Structures are given as structure tokens and as C-alpha cells.
Amino acid sequence: MYRILIFLFAFSFGFSDNTEVIAKNFDNDISSCNRFQIIRVLQDTTINYSLGDDVVWIKIFEGTPQSFIIINLHENEATSILAAKDIVNRFGGKFIFLSQKGERNISFKLGGNEYSFDPNRIFTREGIRKSLSNLGNYSFEAEEEVNKFAEFLLSELTKDSLFIIAVHNNTNGSYSINSFFNQYKQDVSNVYRNKSEDPDDFFFVVREEDFEYLKSKGFNVVLQDNQNVRDDGSLSVFCGRNNIPYINVETQVGKYQKQIQMLEEIKEYLSKPKEN
Ligand SMILES: [Zn+2]
């Protein structure tokens, strides 16, 4: 197997007021046993997104075929970024992740003030307002700026109508499947806990059929109550309200093999023919 690498740097190649594509890298793998058949194309794109006076890099790593889209919103959850890249490398699909300062939250300056928000709390207006206020300053102008960013991300996430897979990592013994028996009980309509699994490793889904499938496979799984879930502006709330297929693959940080195994399970599930 050999590789042809084509680097293309396109400066000021903007497709909205806030963006420019700063780098594209195509990597075609060609099978040596069938020299002229391209078996997959990997493409790496970085979008330079202007947020107030600062920048967020939206990185898109994609391969063929494109049957699902993976999103990482928390840059400090590094295990999930590595696992998602490995999946796209081997099976295709598209992976979008955000990059700024290596932290969970994103910050920016606007009109001389500093603002911060959690990028998984921006997919409703209510969520944006709460996140800005909880993390420091709030202004309507900042809310608008974050809302534009959320709309841009959502357009990237939904434009090909692909199944959305979010990847997250938690720390041992904090947020886990057990949280849905107490703290987050009112947000979910069903929980399946397999006592032989680590409670930190679980799926969070918005559709009953996905819940039943993953339960049948013996994984910890939580089903969001799309009608009654509290509006925290997270992507699961947005997808649940808008009937968008969504699964969050959550593991303890550092559990790379477990996250790979869970992502492979989803990939397998999505490639099964649908029964009518
Ligand atoms: Zn996260």
C-alpha cells in the first residue's frame, strides 16, 4: 500500500463571515493488490472560526464512506478524540472536533469584555444564557455571538443528515450511569445498568430503538426523556427535540479500548439493514 499526499492551503477561503478554511490535507490510500482502485480518501480540514476577537479551530477529519458523523465538543476529553480518529481512519465517516486552549470551556473577548461558555450548552438560547452567566459575564451581544457559532456547528452537523455520535470522557466516580438514578433522574425515561460494566462507561441515547438495541448488547445505557428533559442547551436536548438520531458514547478518561469497542458497536449497529 502506498500513499499520495496532497497538501492544499487555502487562505481566506471563507464560507461565512466568521470562517475561513486554513488548511486542507487529502490523503488517498490506494490498494497495492488492486493498484488503480481507491479504497478510501481521508481529508483533514481546519476551519478558522472568528468568535468575537478570538478564534476557535473547527477541525474536520473525514473518510469514505460517510455513514455517520462523530462530534467532540470538549477538547480536554482527549481519549475520545483519539478513539474517534481511529474509527474514521478504519471505517470512514466524519469527525468534527473543536480546538482552542485545550480546555473544556471556550472563551472569547467582545467589546472589551471576556466571556466563557461550555460548548455543549449552546444549542438552545436558554442554554447559552445559563452557560455564559454561570461562567462569568453575560451580555446580549455575547449571546448572539455564541448563537451564531452554535448555528454554524449545527449546519455542519446536520447538512448530510447523518447519524450523530457524540464522544465524551468523564472522571472516575463522578458523572456516571448512577447519576441517572438520582441527580438526573427527571431528565431520562429509562436506564439500563449492567452491574458487571464500569458505571463510568455508558451510552446516552434519544430514541427507544437505540436504547433497546444497546441494552440487548449488555451495555450501560440511558434514554433521554425528550419531552421532560431540562433545557441545559446540550446537543442531546437539541437532537431529542428535533428528532435527530443521536448517541453519546461516554467513557472514563483514559479508557481508549473501551471507547473504541463502544464506537465499533455503534458502527456495526448503523450498518445493519433496518427492519420494517
Ligand atoms: Zn464532554
Cα(170) to centroid(ligand 1), Å: 7
Each residue of 250-264: pLDDT tens digit?
Answer: 999 999 999 999 999
Q: What is the mean pLDDT of the chain?
A: 89
Each residue of 6-23: pLDDT tens digit?
Answer: 333 333 444 567 877 777
Cα(92) to centroid(ligand 1), Å: 23
pLDDT score recorded for residue 276: 52
Cα(167) to centroid(ligand 1), Å: 7
Cα(142) to centroid(ligand 1), Å: 22
Percent of the chain having pLDDT more than 70?
Answer: 88
Cα(31) to centroid(ligand 1), Å: 37
pLDDT score recorded for residue 28: 59
pLDDT score recorded for residue 32: 42
Residue 204 near residue 224, CB atoms below 8 Å: yes
Cα(30) to centroid(ligand 1), Å: 35
Cα(123) to centroid(ligand 1), Å: 14
Cα(235) to centroid(ligand 1), Å: 11
pLDDT score recorded for residue 8: 39
Q: Nearest CA to 240 among 206, 209, 212? A: 206
Cα–Cα separations (whole angstroms), residue 147 to 117, 118, 192, 253: 11, 12, 34, 29
Confidence of residue 215 (pLDDT cuts 50, 70, 90): very high
Give the residue-averaged pLDDT of 110-129.
98
Cα(137) to centroid(ligand 1), Å: 22
Each residue of 193-204: pLDDT tens digit?
Answer: 999 999 999 999
Residue type, 176: S
pLDDT score recorded for residue 15: 54
Alpha carbon of residue 88 to chain centroid: 13
Domains of the chain with bracketed CATH: 2-270 (3.40.630)
Angle 165-100-128 from CA coordinates, rounded to 5°: 65
Q: Which residues surround ligand 1, an ion (CB under 5 A)?
A: 74, 77, 168
